[in-house]
Amino acid sequence: MHDDDEAAPGVWTWLQAWYAIRCDGDWEHEYGIRIESLDNPGWSLTIDVADTGLADQPYEQQEIHRSQHDWVITRVQNAQFHAACGPLNLGEALHLFRRWADADG
């Protein structure tokens, strides 16, 4: 872990709340959150931000490579936040999304 906040138990609770707030009877039928495992090994995370306050917010792509299994890459493309990361970096990837989302207010 490289950032005190990323390990906070609240990141999952925060993500659930972020998702629940967007579930308005329509949004959740077209958009959502996907978490998948990668074979290198690692994680892939995609969070739809269409029809949210984040849809038009700039995001600077980030690439952090510490070792073969300790890495995170994030970007926003086509109204989706994308992250790929090492097997123990999923919390860090979620924290990067949270920082961006919270900066929007």
CA distances from 9 to 15, 31, 36, 50 (A): 11, 25, 20, 27
Mean pLDDT, to the nearest integer, of 34-47?
97
Nearest of 102, 88, 105 to residue 10 by alpha carbon: 102
Is a pLDDT exceeding 60 seen at residue 6?
no
44-97 per-position pLDDT tens digit: 999 999 999 999 999 999 999 999 999 999 999 999 999 999 999 999 999 999
- If one counts every other C-beta atom within 10 angstroms of the C-beta of residue 36, the result is 10
Confidence of residue 3 (pLDDT cuts 50, 70, 90): very low
CA distances from 102 to 9, 43, 59, 67, 84 (A): 17, 23, 13, 29, 21
Residues making up the chain, counted from first to last: 105
Q: How far apart are the first and last CA of the chain?
A: 26
Is a pLDDT exceeding 60 seen at residue 105?
no
Nearest of 86, 93, 90, 92 to residue 39 by alpha carbon: 86
